[in-house]
Amino acid sequence: MNGKVILVVEDDRDIRSLLADFLKREGFTVEVAEDGAAADRALARMTPDLVVLDLMLPGEDGLSICRRLRARGATPILMLTAKNDDIDRIVGLELGADDYLGKPFNPRELLARIRAILRRAEAATARAGERRRRSFGRFVIDLDARSVERADGTSVALTSAEFDLLACFVERPRRVLTRDQLLDWTRGRSADPFDRTIDVTVSRLRKKLETADPSAPALVTTVRNGGYLFTGDVKDA
């Protein structure tokens, strides 16, 4: 993964320097910013492969920056949050963050999270040959191009985490998938018993894909004490 560019947005000078030095030693190119304005200046001159974004920033907070980043593209976002700030973590995931890590954290765990996110992004572009396109209901998903379209040709904007979860469902239709399985497949780490990442991402997918009432889902159904079931009739497209 040498050569990958990471933008670290962190207002604490000591943490910012520590992260920059650590990630550079691991072979990454690192840009740093202390707030939203500095992040905007950095983004105007470069395109990072991943953004490490602190939640608590002076001026514009991390949640607002996350929302803006997600509106402009699918660059992976790893959010740093206060360890017990469950609500903000959930909101961050709803706004499109791909993963989160509570402070204080072990730099090696941060590195593992970053590498897992980048591996998933690289896997989509490393494949060669025929594209894997599948249809379900009124949608077509291109698993290699990482795109989803409606029957009328309009695109469905999905975050990296949303696409990864949908791909898991499409490749395993009509099977009950547990939250632990989905976490392992989409995030590459063992599940925390209290981790609500999958539930939040499923909720976002329903809002974007359910053609009737997202509150009464028919495409991704909840199996009590089991997990989730993708009911779509998946075919080669």
Per-residue pLDDT reduced to its tens digit, 193-225: 556 788 999 999 999 998 777 778 889 999 988
Confidence tier at 71 by pLDDT (50, 70, 90) = confident
Task: Supply 105's token pair.
Answer: 């954290």
Strand pairing class (50-54; 227-230): unpaired
The distance from CA 115 to its chain's CA centroid, rounded to whole angstroms, is 13
Amino acid at 19: L
Mean pLDDT score of the chain, rounded to an integer? 86
Confidence tier at 192 by pLDDT (50, 70, 90) = low
pLDDT of residue 5: 95
pLDDT of residue 216: 80
Name the least confident of 33-37, 115-119, 207-211, 212-216: 212-216
Task: Supply 49's token pair.
Answer: 């492969």
Report the side by side order of strands in the sheet with 29-33: 29-33, 5-9, 50-54, 77-82, 99-103
Name the least confident of 58-67, 97-106, 192-201: 192-201
pLDDT at residue 145 is higher than 90: no
CB atoms within 10 A of CB 235: 11
